[in-house]
Amino acid sequence: MNPRGRRTEEPIPDYAIDVQGLGVRYNLRLTRQTTVRTSFRDLLKKREGPTHFWALRDVSFRLVHGESLAVIGPNGAGKSTLLQVLAGIIQPNEGSVDVVGQISSLLTLGAGFDQDLTGRDNIRLAGAFLGIPHKTMEAALPGIVDFADIGEFIDAPIKTYSSGMRARLGFSIATAVDPDVLIIDEVLSTGDAVFRAKSKQRIMELVKAAKGIVLVTHDMQWVTEFCNRAMLLDHGHVIMEGPPADVVKLHEERSEKARIEREAEMARKIAAVEGTQPAATA
C-alpha cells in the first residue's frame, strides 16, 4: 500500500488531486479553554446560537499533472483549511480526497521545524520526515542552502529566524525534493523581489515537469500570468472555477461590492451616533 492507501499494483490515475464533495466542519464550542466544568455549565445554560460551522462544504475539483491551481477568496473563505486537508493535516467530515504521488507542503514542513536545531539540520530532518534517503538529501543540501539564501543563519537555530527566513527555507526544501504535488500558502509574498522572482521561476519549472501545484495567494498578477486555473472560495463554497482571468475578475468585482457595502454600513452607523448627540450650546 502507498501512503494514500492505494495498492501498488493498481493503475496510477491520470490526475494529481481528486476532491469530491469535500466538507470540513468546526466545533465552535471546542476551544483550548474548554473544560469539563465549562462544558457542563454551558449545557446547563443551554447556550443559544450555532454550535458548528462549515469551513468548507461541497467542494469538488480535479487537478491533473502539469496544472497550477490558484485558490483565491476573501479572508475566512476556507482557503487555508482546504490546503490543510490536501496536506493531510485535517481530516474532512464529508467527501473524499485523493492525492496521487509524493506531496510536499510548506504547511507541514514549517510546522515540523525543530526550533533548537540549525537550518542545515532542519533540512536533514525534513528529508527524513518526507521519507527521502539520507544520501539523496545530502546531495540536495547545498542547492537548498543556496536557494534559501539566508547566509550564515543556515547554521543558526531556527528560533532565531524571522518568519520570512523560515518561509524561504521551507520553500527551498519543499521545491527541491521533486514532489509530485506541491502545496504552498502565500510564500510568493515572502522576501525581497529577487527571491520572489526565483520562487516564481521554480514554480514554473515544476509545472513544466508535470507536477501538480495548488497555491493560495493574494497576488492576482501571479494568478493570471502563471496559473493554469483558478478557484474562488467564499464562506467555504466554490463560487467559480475556471480560467484565471475570469475568476480574478469575479473576485475583484465581489471584493469591490463588499467594500462599498462596508463603507455604506459604517456611514449609517456614524450618522446614527451623531444623530443622538446633544446639540452644542451657544
Mean pLDDT of 204-210: 82
- Cα distance between residue 92 and residue 223, in whole Å: 27
Eight-class DSSP state of 157: B
pLDDT of residue 44: 55
Helix (H) or strand (E) holding 111: helix 106-112
Share of the chain above pLDDT 70, in %: 81
The band of 250, judged by pLDDT with boundaries at 50, 70 and 90, is very high
User: How far apart are the C-alpha atoms of 223 and 70, rounded to whole Å?
Assistant: 6
Helix (H, G, I), strand (E, B) or coil at 98: strand
- Tell me the pLDDT band of 146, cut-offs 50, 70 and 90: very high
Looking at the chain, the whole-number percentage of residues with pLDDT higher than 90 is 43
Q: Is the pTM of this model over 0.85?
A: no
Of the CATH numbers 2.40.110.10, 3.40.50.300, 3.80.10.10, 3.40.50.1010, which one belongs to the domain with range 13-29+52-101+182-193+210-267? 3.40.50.300
Q: Which sequence spans correspond to the domains of the chain?
A: 13-29+52-101+182-193+210-267, 104-179
Q: In angstroms, what CA-CA distances link 219 with 24, 66, 227, 273?
A: 26, 21, 11, 38
Backbone dihedral region for residue 210 (phi beyond 0: left; psi -120 to 50: alpha; all else: beta) = left
* Interval 18-31: pLDDT, tens: 999 999 999 876 55
Task: State pLDDT tens for residues 254-270.
Answer: 999 999 999 999 999 88
Q: Which amino acid is at 115?
A: Q
Q: Determine the number of helices (DSSP H) and then strands (DSSP E) in the chain.
A: 9, 9
Residue found under cell 469539563: 36
